[in-house]
């Protein structure tokens, strides 16, 4: 059966200890887990996954709360959408597929899940690539006018429910097309991929879960990060970011990640935030070299 966006891959549903996770798997070779960001789904990898499949067994999933994965309860203090819970889900998925140790590539929110996974499960994550992010703790510790202007949604989405959910629900397509993906549809984000992101964004349960993801980032995730402050990542880390994006303008991205691990490499790529869809070939080449 043909899997939408991923020819030659197989779709799966995995029941983890916390929630059902939706995903696709394809290719052959060492296992590689691809994690998407906000406001997307595993479809963000539809241009990159086929380039990696000849070299790796590629698994791309929807994070809990996103796409067609389950929508968990909020939990105490937003724990239901913490990066710790999200990471635990994905370890469960990979274990169920027969992979006890694997590499992780995370874009945006997926990179934050990968970061937490490498801290909580150091014997599981062999290598970690983070795309266009710096650690969450660093973002909240150094808030500036420039950051708040570009990343205003970090402060909007954490407002108590149902304020952001209500304001976004009736304006989803306008918001996504004219702000989140402004200038990238259909050049990088195809109309078909955009339609998939919009389908999920307009589901009230998904929209709430995505807000909870950000609420968790501003609360329980920071508690977990504070508890692990000074604990270095044991796996090699690759940091890639967009030379035309906010990370390049606001941070020394590579030095920031060198504070988190002893084995860190990386560089900017000639694009913006949406690297998997803007620069699939260049991104896949960098990942192959790092993961080989």
> Which residues are designated catalytic?
108, 273
**Residue from 240, 234, 225, 228 nearest 261 by CA:** 234
Give me the residue label for tokens 């590629």. Answer: 58
| Beta strands 102-107 and 10-15, pairing class | unpaired
What tokens appear for 216 in the block? 């968790």
Inter-axis angle of helices 83-96 and 220-227, to 10 degrees? 80
Q: Report the DSSP beta bridge partners of residue 268.
A: 241
Whole-angstrom Cα distance, residue 112 to residue 217?
A: 9
Torsion angle in degrees (nearest 10) through CA of 211, 185, 179, 183: 150
Whole-angstrom Cα distance, residue 142 to residue 97?
A: 40
List, in sequence order, every beta strand (DSSP E) within 113-260. 125-131, 237-242
- Helices (H) and strands (E) counted in the chain, each on its own, are 15, 8
**Are 159 and 167 within 8 A, CB to CB?**
no
Planar angle of CA 78, 174, 105, nearest 5 degrees:
50
What tokens appear for 287 in the block? 């990942």
What tokens appear for 66 in the block? 């996103």
């Amino acid at each position: 059966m043909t899997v939408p966006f991923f020819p030659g891959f197989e779709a799966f549903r995995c029941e983890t200890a916390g929630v059902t996770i939706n995903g696709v798997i394809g290719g052959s070779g060492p296992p590689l887990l691809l994690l998407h960001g906000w406001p997307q789904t595993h479809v963000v990898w539809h241009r990159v996954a086929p380039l990696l499949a000849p070299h790796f067994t590629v698994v791309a999933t929807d994070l809990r709360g996103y796409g067609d994965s389950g929508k968990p309860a909020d939990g105490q203090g937003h724990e239901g959408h913490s990066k710790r819970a999200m990471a635990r889900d994905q370890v469960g998925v990979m274990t169920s597929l027969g992979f006890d140790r694997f590499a992780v590539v995370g874009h945006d929110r997926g990179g934050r899940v990968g970061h937490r996974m490498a801290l909580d499960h150091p014997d599981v994550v062999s290598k970690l690539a983070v795309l266009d992010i710096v650690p969450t703790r660093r973002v909240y510790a150094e808030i500036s006018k420039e950051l708040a202007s570009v990343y205003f949604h970090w402060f909007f989405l954490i407002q108590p429910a149902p304020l952001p959910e209500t304001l976004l629900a009736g304006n989803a397509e306008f918001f996504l097309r004219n702000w989140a993906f402004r200038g990238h549809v259909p050049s990088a984000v195809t109309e078909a991929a955009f339609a998939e992101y919009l389908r999920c964004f307009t589901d009230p349960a998904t929209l709430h879960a995505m807000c909870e993801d950000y609420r968790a980032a501003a609360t329980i995730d920071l508690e977990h990060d504070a508890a692990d402050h000074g604990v270095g990542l044991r796996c090699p880390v690759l940091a890639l970011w967009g030379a035309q994006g906010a990370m390049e303008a606001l941070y020394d991205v590579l030095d920031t990640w060198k504070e988190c691990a002893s084995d860190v490499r990386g560089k900017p790529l000639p694009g913006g935030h949406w690297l998997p869809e803007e620069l699939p070939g260049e991104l896949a080449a960098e990942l192959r070299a790092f993961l080989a």
